[in-house]
Amino acid sequence: MTVTEERPPTPEEEHEAIEILWEEAPGTPGFFASVDHKRIGMRYIYTAFIFFFIAGIQALLLRAQLTSPDSQVMGPQTYNQMFTMHGTTMIFLFNTPVLAGFGNYLLPLQLGTRDMAFPRLNAFSYWVFILAAIFMYSSYLVGRPPAGGWFAYVPLTNREYSPGVNMDFWGLGVTFVGISTTVGAVNFIVTIFKMRAPGMTLNRMPIFVWSILAMAVMVIFAVPALTVGTVLLEADRLFGTQFYDPSGGGNPLLYQHLFWFWGHPEVYILFVPAAGMVATVIPVFARRRLAGYKWVAASLVAISFISFGVWVHHMFATGLPALAMSFFSAASLIIAIPSGILFFCLIATIWRGEVEWTVPFLFALGWFLIFLLGGITGVMVSVMPFDWQAHDSYFIVAHFHYVLNGAVVFPIFGALYYWLPKMTGRMLDEKLGKVSFWIMFVGFNLAFFPMHVLGLLGMPRRIYTYSSGLGWDTLNIVITAGSFMFGLGTLLTLINFLNSKFRGQPAGGNPWNADGLEWSTPTSPPPECNFESIPVAAGRHPLWDSEKLEEAESGTDEATKSMGPSGALNRQTPILSGLQSGPEETMEIPEPTYTPFVLALGIAVIFLGLLIQAALVGVLGLVVAAIGITTWLWRTESDLQ
């Protein structure tokens, strides 16, 4: 009588079963095997921030040296290594990966699905990133950090002028980390096209998703140029080829073209997702729908297209024909138009909104005021004659810190205050956040505004010292003071974060009363499977559009069977038909596995072999990588079919 066979499980039981199923192995083994996008996203963010602080300390040391003329804090060698590693770290090991981290964490949640399209590839790209970072930083362990500047122009970086293994750490490391960025981008693109919730057409996608899409497309077409540039560099260095050596018919400018064909899109690869964050935060705290949604999406896409046509503006002083350069000058000017549209859509949103002065909003406001100036100086330097004065002077250092440090780092800090509650389940302190913001904002402008003036006063960049009597002394003191102030501001946010980990207010599901699907999960952090039932996106602001979010139910056919909790129970998630938004198929989410780590490790060993020029080590790496690939392919059956 009591024997109930085949009773359908109650929702509670189902819920529990799902939790058990998605739980990952604890401890070290689980750590190396995880393929969960949230875990990987967090790892990306934490790791990247460690590098932010490392590179920040390097920056402060640079400033310490430059505070006064003829100062002796460090010698030329150390200084050159320091700014090289500062720039390289900020670009490759902080900015790019931290945005990838947010993308990883947020994309499946914002799109309403249970994981990325290729979860194992996702784990792989993180492992490549961290191993490449360790690779580059091991240069400090052996006392040979690179000193060629973050764009490593040849011939200075050729074997002849940079003997020793220093530059190889850079050339190989950058090539290595490019793998991570590229596979990450593949994953983003496919996820965006194939993994959206039912109802989420392209023109309902959250703006942040649009920005990640634009970013990923730029990565796909830009990173190869960098890879070719650094591979040819390393071939010259390690194997004696002559790509860049004029005495052998090579051409140093070839490197510059290759580098900047990536380098310019790269700065928008950083800027566009950051702008996407701002465009997400502004409507939430202006309590108003984003004005001109289509314009914003279109301008992000337009920026990513135009970004491929402007690279020569970094080479105005190399003596190219004036006519050719005018073209690039004009193209650079044109980029101001989509940026302007983006700007005014956000202004329009704020204009009739009722602003709630939260910390994320403050950082978005900081973005406005700083990026506006950085963008305007960008337009100024794209006017060729002016650039002939400004190029390679502190005016440029000012421009790119306004955009990189201002238009990218400020939104990232805003994003921390905005999304960390979802990620950790605890709020950050608003008061401390505001103090941190204002110190950062004032410190920032003190640190970087005077650099414009310094540049026009003739101070070139990348000089480890200067003599007094050139009128540069006072401004440099102000700059250093501002830098430390800015650093202090960032520390306050770090403290805020640590504090919230232990004492923060619980965040609940949707503390900001925000609009996106990521806030629809009942708890923070979200359940391991994200959504027990896949949500239905009925509009651009799903949580604002209707009182209660609709949830899909499992159907019976291949396309819809994983929509409801039964999908979560089977570690499945639905797949869409490309550009449309109807479900089409079901994907199995792979189990935790070590193969991504093994493959990444194999590649690292290959690079190590190249670095120390030991064929045997290289072969060992190939073997490990082969093992990784084979096991990977062997187990690919299920999710490929």
Partner 1 sequence: MTRARCRALAGVAVGIVLLAACSKASPNALEPKGPDARSIADVAWLMFAMATAVYVVVAGFIIVGALRGAKASRISDNAFIWVGGLFAPIAILAILAVVTVKTTDSLRTPDPNPLKIEATGFQYWWAVEYPDEKVTTANEIRVPAGRPVEIGLHSKDVIHSFWVPELAGKVDMVPGQRNVIRFTADKPGEYRGQCAEFCGLQHAKMAFLVVAEEPGDYERWVIRQQRPRSGPSSEREAAGEQVFMRSSCAGCHAVRGTEAQGTLGPDLSDFGSRRTIGAVAVPNTRGHLAGWIENSQSIKPGNLMPPVQLEPDELLNLIEYLEGLS
Partner 2 sequence: MTTVEEASRATENEIAEAPRSKPGRSTAWWGMAVLIMTEGTIFASLLSSYFFLQAASKEWPLGGIEAPELSKISLMTIVLLGSSAPMFWAEHGIRKGQVWRLKAGLIMVILMGTSFFAFLSLYEYPELTFGMRDNAYASIFYMTTSLHGAHVVIGLLMLGVVLIKTFQGKFTAERHVTVEVVGMYWHFVDAVWIFVFSSLYLSAHLK
Applying CB under 5 A, the residues found at the interface with Cu ion are 264
**Which 82-141 residues touch ligand HEA, going by CB under 6 A?**
83-84, 86-87, 90-91, 95
Alpha carbons 610 and 172: distance in angstroms, whole number: 8
Least spacing, CB of residue 149 vs partner 1, in Å: 5
Alpha carbons 65 and 502: distance in angstroms, whole number: 38
Residue 620 site contact among partner 1, partner 2, ligand HEA, none (CB < 5 to 8 Å, cut-off depends on kind): none
Question: Nearer to partner 1 by C-beta: 94 or 466?
Answer: 466
Only one of the segments 167-175, 225-233, 240-248, 329-337 lies at the binding site for ligand HEA (rule: CB under 6 A); that segment is 329-337
Least spacing, CB of residue 219 vs partner 1, in Å: 26
Residue 404 binds ligand HEA (CB under 6 A): yes
Alpha carbons 641 and 630: distance in angstroms, whole number: 17
Question: Nearer to ligand HEA by C-beta: 212 or 427?
Answer: 212
Only one of the segments 212-220, 226-234, 235-243, 480-488 lies at the binding site for ligand HEA (rule: CB under 6 A); that segment is 480-488
Least spacing, CB of residue 582 vs ligand HEA, in Å: 37
- Integer-rounded Cα Rg, in Å, for the chain is 25
Mask of contacts with partner 1, 235-264, x by CB under 8 A?
-----------xx---xxx-----------
Question: Nearer to Cu ion by C-beta: 257 or 289?
Answer: 257
Q: For ligand HEA, which residue of 139, 304, 483, 593 counts as binding (CB under 6 A)?
A: 483
Question: Nearer to partner 1 by C-beta: 395 or 413?
Answer: 395
The DSSP line for 172-230 is HHHHHHHHHHHHHHHHHHHHHHH-PPTT--GGGS-HHHHHHHHHHHHHHHHHHHHHHHH
Residue 575 site contact among ligand HEA, partner 1, partner 2, none (CB < 5 to 8 Å, cut-off depends on kind): partner 2
**Which 444-473 residues touch ligand HEA, going by CB under 6 A?**
447, 461-462
Question: Nearer to Cu ion by C-beta: 264 or 571?
Answer: 264
Question: Nearer to ligand HEA by C-beta: 37 or 461?
Answer: 461
Residue 264 site contact among partner 1, Cu ion, partner 2, none (CB < 5 to 8 Å, cut-off depends on kind): Cu ion
Mask of contacts with partner 1, 454-483, x by CB under 8 A?
--xxx-xxxxxxx--xxxx--x--------
* Token output for 148: 């060629």
Alpha carbons 134 and 130: distance in angstroms, whole number: 6
Alpha carbons 125 and 7: distance in angstroms, whole number: 43
Residue 513 binds partner 1 (CB under 8 A): no
Q: Which helix (H) or strand (E) holds 588?
A: strand 583-588
Alpha carbons 178 and 592: distance in angstroms, whole number: 25
With tokens 């909790």, the residue in question is: 565
Alpha carbons 229 and 258: distance in angstroms, whole number: 5
Please measure the distance between the N-terminal and C-terminal CA atoms of the chain and give it in whole angstroms. 44
Residue 488 binds partner 1 (CB under 8 A): no
Least spacing, CB of residue 325 vs ligand HEA, in Å: 10
Return the closest-CA partner of residue 504 out of 416, 606, 567: 416
Residue 279 binds ligand HEA (CB under 6 A): no
Task: Specify whether the CB–CB gap between 332 and 383 falls below 8 A.
Answer: no
Look at residue 587 and give its three-state secondary structure: strand
Residue 31 site contact among partner 1, Cu ion, ligand HEA, none (CB < 5 to 8 Å, cut-off depends on kind): none
Alpha carbons 272 and 527: distance in angstroms, whole number: 29
Task: Specify whether the CB–CB gap between 256 and 153 falls below 8 A.
Answer: yes
Least spacing, CB of residue 261 vs Cu ion, in Å: 11
Return the closest-CA partner of residue 132 out of 59, 44, 204: 44
Return the closest-CA partner of residue 336 out of 385, 294, 397, 378: 378
Question: Nearer to partner 2 by C-beta: 86 or 194?
Answer: 194
With tokens 């709630």, the residue in question is: 356
Alpha carbons 151 and 182: distance in angstroms, whole number: 19
**Which 485-524 residues touch ligand HEA, going by CB under 6 A?**
486-488, 490-491
Question: Nearer to partner 1 by C-beta: 329 or 490?
Answer: 329
Residue 543 binds ligand HEA (CB under 6 A): no
Residue 563 binds ligand HEA (CB under 6 A): no
Least spacing, CB of residue 494 vs ligand HEA, in Å: 8
Question: Nearer to Cu ion by C-beta: 262 or 497?
Answer: 262
Q: For ligand HEA, which residue of 9, 76, 340, 522 counts as binding (CB under 6 A)?
A: 340
If phi over 0 gives left and psi between -120 and 50 gives alpha, with beta otherwise, what is residue 33?
Answer: alpha
Residue 322 binds partner 1 (CB under 8 A): yes
Return the closest-CA partner of residue 278 out of 396, 412, 147, 370: 412
Cβ neighbours, 10 Å, residue 446:
18
Residue 289 site contact among ligand HEA, Cu ion, partner 2, none (CB < 5 to 8 Å, cut-off depends on kind): none
- Residue 364 CB contacts under 8 Å (≥ 6 apart), including other chains: 278, 281, 282, 285, 410, 411, 414
Residue 258 site contact among partner 1, partner 2, Cu ion, none (CB < 5 to 8 Å, cut-off depends on kind): partner 2
Compute φ and ψ for 573, nearest 5 degrees. -150, 145
Q: For partner 1, which residue of 134, 240, 287, 523 counts as binding (CB under 8 A)?
A: 287
Return the closest-CA partner of residue 178 out of 259, 59, 273, 277: 259
Alpha carbons 350 and 344: distance in angstroms, whole number: 10
Residues in contact with ligand HEA by CB under 6 A are 52-53, 56-57, 59-60, 62-63, 83-84, 86-87, 90-91, 95, 149-150, 267, 270-271, 313-314, 332, 335-336, 339-340, 343, 372, 375-376, 378-379, 381-382, 387, 390-391, 396-397, 399-401, 403-405, 407-409, 447, 461-462, 483-484, 486-488, 490-491
